Chain A
Amino acid sequence: EIVLTQSPGTLSLSPGERATLSCRASQSVSSSYLAWYQQKPGQAPRLLIYGASSRATGIPDRFSGSGSGTDFTLTISRLEPEDFAVYYCQQYGSSSWTFGQGTKVEIK
């Protein structure tokens, strides 16, 4: 089973700052199978990025994804107040799905 490790656990930033979130896989992951989700308290997860770098419908272009192999990154270029949330990476492999443990982006 592929394990996804996200870092940092918590990111404390101010609105307008840049956020860089990391997702590292224990084995190589196909970029096609790597996605990122945003979750706010009391809400379901929302798809942000699929295929490691493609933005989902309606996602602002301040969100971008990159990476390949075992190292993937979600970047939020300039944080808006509504971006403070928990972010999860996810991969598909061997007929199953795994999620990272999440990175919380909080207001500094």
Chain B
Amino acid sequence: EVQLVESGGGLVQPGGSLRLSCAASGFTFSSYWMSWVRQAPGKGLEWVANIKQDGSEKYYVDSVKGRFTISRDNAKNSLYLQMNSLRAEDTAVYYCAREKRDPYSQGAHYMDVWGKGTTVTVSS
């Protein structure tokens, strides 16, 4: 079964750090771009960051640049998000998602597998 399982969320004070993990199984993890997407309480979805199969390319939403770092370990089938200098507005459920870049569907790009999410709360 194709699966993504996030962990590492919790309560952290403003200015603090947290490292999220996402364990992948049931597919060849090293063949896919991967993303982190977050959802603040009662709000919509916001893409946070993504990383290429070999880790050579990484992209971030402007609001987290310089504070968050996405990484991966293909030997461990794991995706990570290191979050530093956390702010109250980073409070959200964080999902990891697999990106599909489908050469057989006119190059369609979409996120076809999602984890259940891990909750990050930034509060004093």
Q: Which residues of A contact B (CB under 8 A)?
A: 31-33, 35, 37, 39, 43-47, 50-51, 54, 56, 88, 90, 92, 95-102
Contacts and interface: CB of A to CB of B under 8 A. Distances in A.
- Number of contact residues on B: which range applies? 20 to 34
25 contacts: A35-B108, A35-B110, A44-B115, A44-B116, A45-B37, A45-B45, A45-B111, A50-B102, A50-B105, A50-B108, A50-B109, A50-B112, A51-B102, A51-B106, A51-B110, A54-B105, A56-B110, A88-B45, A90-B111, A92-B110, A96-B59, A97-B35, A99-B45, A99-B47, A101-B44
A100 B108 contact: no
A67 to B, nearest CB: 14
Given A44-B114, A88-B44, A92-B109, 9 more contacts: A32-B109, A33-B109, A35-B108, A44-B95, A45-B95, A45-B114, A50-B105, A51-B102, A96-B59
B70 to A, nearest CB: 13
B107 interface: yes
Interface of B: 35, 37, 44-47, 50, 57, 59, 61, 95, 100, 102, 105-112, 114-117
A37 B46 CA distance: 13
A21 B68 CA distance: 34
Contact of A32 (B37, B47, B107, B112): B107
Given A32-B105, A51-B105, A97 B44 contact: no
A50 B110 contact: yes
Contacts of A32: 105-109
Contacts of B95: 44-45
A68 B44 CA distance: 23
A11 to B, nearest CB: 16
A89 to B, nearest CB: 10
B47 A96 contact: yes
Contact of A47 (B107, B110, B115): B110
